[in-house]
Amino acid sequence: MIFTSASEPDFGGKMPHLLCAPGDIAPVVLLPGDPGRVEMFPKLCDDFRILSRNREYTVGSGTYRGMPVTVCSTGIGGPSTEIAVLELIALGAKALIRIGGTGAIKEEIACSDIILNTAAMRMGGASQFYAEPEYPAVASFETVECLKQACEEEHLRCHMGICASVGSFYRGQGRTPPGQRETDERNVLEKYRRLNILNLEMEAETIFTLASLYGVYSGSICTVHCNRMTDQWLLDNEDSQRQMCKAALSGALLLYKKYLQEK
């Protein structure tokens, strides 16, 4: 079937990429990058079921201690994250929390530690099409507060600060492209370290900026999979991911009860 500009595709009332309709999405949405991470939540939540699978997007919803919650994968980087965030907000999401893994660039941060990013350096994400470079990408204070409290209650070693969201996995983050020899890894990493950046990742700035623009809460909680300065790597990260997801759910519950639940 061919559609003209006067006749947009009809997806049966569902969003074109997430393939979800109004009523499918909870006020609080957790955003892993990897679709496989969504499959972890049936064991962490009640009545959790997968709603859709399409491209890099897997969406599921359930409840956690009475709180409705949705988990939606974003894929890697700003463009696919932009699509997920905007469609989720259109479907009624009120809080968006990035969950996942990250690489630290401070020696004192160990693998399996938790990083809560309070803001993101905008280095090539999708938000450039929505706001000038001077517009800050910041997490909501309320979300950071609740995630921090959850980590403290779980006795997790936690670091807070600014990340760099980089629109390049290889050269932009100081990695040598596959099959190539040249590298200026240390120079790239030192550029970020001079700015007191804690970690490198690819999605937070898009989530933070769009959430601020459209008036929803946002935050990020990640477990450290590697330290780029000490060259330490956590090859088996399932336990650390599960621990981080539990803290994310606990923090989301605090946010829901304190700021989102109708009084």
Question: Does 225 participate in catalysis according to the annotation?
Answer: no
Amino acid residing at 192: Y
Question: Does 181 participate in catalysis according to the annotation?
Answer: no
Question: Does 49 participate in catalysis according to the annotation?
Answer: no
Q: Is 193 exposed, middle or buried (0-12, 13-18, 19+ CB in 10 A)?
A: middle
Catalytic residue among 53, 171, 175, 193: 175
- Torsion angle, CA of 158/138/262/258, rounded to 10 degrees? 30
Amino acid residing at 40: M
Catalytic residue among 122, 159, 225, 228: 228
Catalytic residue among 17, 98, 122, 225: 17
Distance in angstroms (rounded) separating the CA atoms of residues 50 and 62: 9
Catalytic residue among 56, 82, 87, 201: 87
**Which residues, including other chains, have CB under 8 Å from residue 150's CB and lie 6 or more apart?**
247, 248, 250, 251, 254
Residue 79 token pair: 């463009």
The label of the residue with tokens 């890099």 reads: 56
Residue of 180, 206, 185 whose CA lies nearest to 77? 206
Beta pairing class for 57-64 and 217-227: unpaired
User: Backbone phi, then psi, for 40, in 5-degree steps?
Assistant: -75, -20
Question: Does 55 participate in catalysis according to the annotation?
Answer: no
Positions marked active-site: 17, 87, 175, 228
